[in-house]
Amino acid sequence: MIRRIVRGLGKTLISVGVLILLFVVYQLWGTGLTHDREQKNLRSQFARTLAGPSPAAADTVPTSPSSPTTAPTTTIAAAVPDGDAVAVINIPKIGLDEVVVEGVGVEELKKGVGHYPDTKMPGEAGNAALAGHRTTYGHPFNRIDELVAGDDISITTKAGTFHYSVIEKKVVTPESIEVLDNTKDNRLTLTTCHPKYSAESRLIVIAQLTGPPVDAPVVPVGTTPTTSPPRTTELASGLERPGLSGAGAANRPAIAWGILAASIWLAAWAVGRWSGRRWTAYIVGTPIFLVALFLFFENVARLLPANV
Question: Which backbone phi and psi does 154 adopt, to 5 degrees?
Answer: -115, 145
Co-location of 137 and 205 in the same domain: yes
In a 3-state reduction of DSSP, which class is residue 169? strand
Given a contact cutoff of 8 angstroms between Cβ atoms, the answer to whether 96 and 271 are in contact is: no
- Across the range 98-127, mean pLDDT stands at 94
Give the DSSP letter of residue 304.
S
Q: 145 and 41: one domain?
A: yes
Type of residue found at 143: R
Residue 218 confidence (pLDDT): 61
203 and 268 in a single domain? The answer is no
* Beta carbons of 58 and 73 less than 8 angstroms apart: no
- Among residues 186, 205, 227, 182, the alpha carbon closest in space to that of 130 is found at 205
CATH number at residue 188: 2.40.260.10
Tell me the percentage of the chain whose pLDDT exceeds 70: 79
Give the count of domains, the chain: 2
Burial class (CB in 10 A: 0-12, 13-18, 19+), 157: buried
Amino acid making up residue 218: V
Weakest mean pLDDT among 83-87, 148-152, 282-286: 282-286
pLDDT digits (tens, 9 = 90+) for 1-36: 788 888 778 877 887 888 888 887 877 778 888 899
Phi first, then psi, for residue 301 (nearest 5°) are: -65, -30
Query: Does 25 map to a domain?
Result: no
pLDDT tens track for 86-98: 999 999 999 999 9
Give the range of the structural domain holding residue 116, as residue numbers without chain letter: 36-209
CA atoms within 13 A on the CB side of 248: 1
Do 204 and 251 have their domain in common? no
| Predicted local confidence at residue 202, as pLDDT | 94
SS3 197: coil
Give the helix/strand (H/E) hosting 265.
helix 251-275
Same domain as 184, residue 86:
yes
